[in-house]
Chains A and B, each alone.
Chain A
């Protein structure tokens, strides 16, 4: 009895712990370890002092969770104390509280077919029918939970729910409070998929303009998948060694908790590792049912509102999930996602060598052109020199010709003058019989006025001469 008692309290404490964890968006063990919860359940502390004696309950944990833990223990003790006391008369409320303290820890997964549905704006009641026998369970679900899992309630569809039983005080009826819900059966899943796809398409979740661009060359990659999975191995194997820094975040990739895990992983990266350049959401192939988490509205919204671009590689080649449609880049498989991320680096090697070749080619063709240009300039100068020297030579030739012909001209002139002189040579006259008369000082007498009677004059003949005396002067 006492052991059962402790076990029940442990279950209650564990539920409480899980609730706190999910509200604070941290892992349950980060709130309190199971071992600590077990000890609390065994010892049932009633004061902070007693609580502090339990290993793992430090000052910080007590200040954070002390009061609620003590209250839970107290509530449990008072109700369980009551059952042992047959004398105790319960009020109705007390009794329902007592029952609920036993019922609510009974967390289970149930499958069934949806029967009648009724509801208000933000919650629904529905019955879950057994397919094989006449048995029904009334269920309660918040509308928010439904939306998160992307399930639309419809009579006749087969679902799987997780939650716990609880008696509603005001009605006195037992309801199963649904915390996780998913569809069963391919047909229903497909219908739900198409419905959500249509809804999100209308809201612009898939529009190309809203897609974030993924850097061509990324280094910091956030990997969201299940640890020890083929998907993780495939992705990492095909990524290649390009200096990637992988931030791995372990999540459940199917089952009732997958949606929650993946949504909080995406949020975690955006809030705590915002320098991550791309998030890779990946998992291996499976049935439509096993991929269901990736078809939820909650994940669609998380991808849509992520500031870090998201690449999906979910399932096999032909699997299409809502997550794929919302993703900024959709790869077909984990391997393909690795290629999407690493191909630019791989191609960069090829591009680099192409650039190198074209660089060298361009350089040489330009070099050749320049060389040709220089050559043509050289030729131009060569011809210029030739021209100059030809010009010079022709001037020089002219110069010598002119000067020589000038000398010849002078010679001719001289000859002419000589000829002329020859004609006027006095010797020629003397030969002809003329004589020249000089006075005593050798001056030629051309006029009688130059003479005096008795003056001695010299006569010059062709050959020889004579000294004469003027005896008579005729005329004037």
Chain B
């Protein structure tokens, strides 16, 4: 599931939303929907980054354990 998450696409979408807010749109409902969407993307991006980082250090730890067992 996490694999399907496209980090760079998410970032791009977040930036687009951010830009939308700079245009002088006044559709409040749309604004709210976009804000909610943006918040969800932020959450997912942070989660994903954390996960990748965790995995990285896990792999590193495995490698180090293997080394010290030899």
Contact = CB atoms under 8 A, between A and B. Distances in A.
A129 to B, nearest CB: 90
Given A391-B11, A395-B15, A405 B21 contact: yes
A295 B46 CA distance: 97
B14 A413 contact: no
Interface in B5-52: 11, 14-15, 17-19, 21-22, 24-26, 28, 31, 34-35, 38, 42, 45-46, 49, 52
Contacts of B63: 374
A395 B38 CA distance: 10
Contacts of A395: 11, 14-15, 18
A402 B34 CA distance: 12
A398 B18 contact: yes
Interface string A115-131: 00000000000000000
Nearest to A398: B18
Please report whether the interface of chain A is mostly helix, strand, loop or mixed according to DSSP.
Answer: helix
A392 B11 contact: yes
Contact of B56 (A381, A406, A413): A381
A396 B14 contact: yes
Contact of A385 (B35, B42, B49): B49
A378 B56 CA distance: 9
B53 interface: yes
B23 to A, nearest CB: 9
Interface in A219-251: none
A403 B46 contact: no
Given A378-B60, A385-B56, A402 B18 contact: yes
Contacts of B42: 392, 396, 399
Nearest to B19: A402
B70 to A, nearest CB: 11
A363 interface: no
Contacts, number: 50
Please report whether the interface of chain B is mostly helix, strand, loop or mixed according to DSSP.
Answer: helix
A391 B45 CA distance: 11
B35 A410 contact: no
Contact of B49 (A389, A402, A407): A389
A409 interface: yes
A434 interface: no
A185 to B, nearest CB: 77
B31 to A, nearest CB: 6
B39 to A, nearest CB: 8
A409 B52 CA distance: 38
A469 to B, nearest CB: 48
Contact of B21 (A385, A391, A402): A402
A374 B66 CA distance: 14
Contacts of A389: 49
Contacts of B17: 399
Interface of B: 11, 14-15, 17-19, 21-22, 24-26, 28, 31, 34-35, 38, 42, 45-46, 49, 52-53, 56, 60, 63
Interface of A: 374, 378, 381, 385, 388-389, 391-392, 395-396, 398-399, 402-403, 405-407, 409-410, 413
